[in-house]
Amino acid sequence: MGKHDFRPVQVLRAANQLLETKAMRIPPPWHKIMHDVPPSESVVRPVKRFANLNSKRSRKSRRMFQPLEITYPEDKLRTTFFNDHPWELARPKVVLEDDGNDSKNWDWSRIEQPGKTLDGESVVRRQMWLIEHFVPGPGDEHLDSETISQRAYDQARKEFYQLRLREDVEREVAKEETVHLGTREDKLFAWNHIGESLNDRSLKAEDDAFEEWREWATTDMEEEAANRSSLYSGAGDEDPSISDDVAEIATEYQETEAASAAGGRNANKA
């Protein structure tokens, strides 16, 4: 039979032969069922072909509970501006509002708004206003939306550059006035602090504190060394009369020792 046993497949054929030759008069109970649903002639199961898993219906079922992406027309304009001006993202932003309705009082027919710092968002809002209120001129009737957006972007950038240049000039003028027209103390403060960042001021204060501590530590070490030397030499805060008595006793002792030594030498000579 080989590696596979095909005898179960031949059961129905053998039963039919027995019925035809009258060797079996009554068909078995399973004969009709096996005749309607015969067993497979191959022992290898065929591969089932499923629908394409990358079909649109299958992708839709997998993303059924994923939230939709929220996009606004300003997103593309904002991305374009900050790609052209990446350093604008480094500027500090003020997000504090009084009642939360500050934007309702802004009129973007002009880029400069009261109570709002000039930044990249001003350019985006100004560009949106120019796109919405675009009035075609002679020969502009067939302009597409991309060209209109680019023209609005150029105009908004030009206004932004002019105001930013004016802010820089005002800042330089204020610095010069503080230095040259203020009092002496104001001048010293201006020379020392204008143009310095917060980190520079902090490092300078740290250096000043270190220098003050070093002076104190040097003085303290010198005093301690002087105290130690005075202990070894015997000098210190003593009574002057006691010091004089000690000096007299030492002088008398030295004279006595000298006289004794002289008497001893004379006796040896005799």
| Cα gap 187→171, rounded to integer Å | 16
Does residue 161 carry a pLDDT above 90? yes
| Cα gap 70→147, rounded to integer Å | 25
| Residue that wins the pLDDT comparison between 31 and 241 | 31
Whole-number Cα distances in Å, 124 to 74, 91, 106, 110, 111? 7, 16, 14, 12, 10
Tell me which range, 21-35, 49-63, 221-235, is most confidently predicted by mean pLDDT: 21-35
pTM: 0.47
Domain ranges of the chain: 7-36, 73-92+106-181, 196-230
| Cα gap 149→78, rounded to integer Å | 12
Question: pLDDT of 80-120, one tens digit each?
Answer: 999 999 999 998 888 777 777 777 888 999 999 888 889 99
Place of tokens 């009642």: 99
pLDDT at 1: 46
Mean predicted lDDT score pLDDT of the chain: 79
pLDDT at 6: 72
| Cα gap 187→193, rounded to integer Å | 10
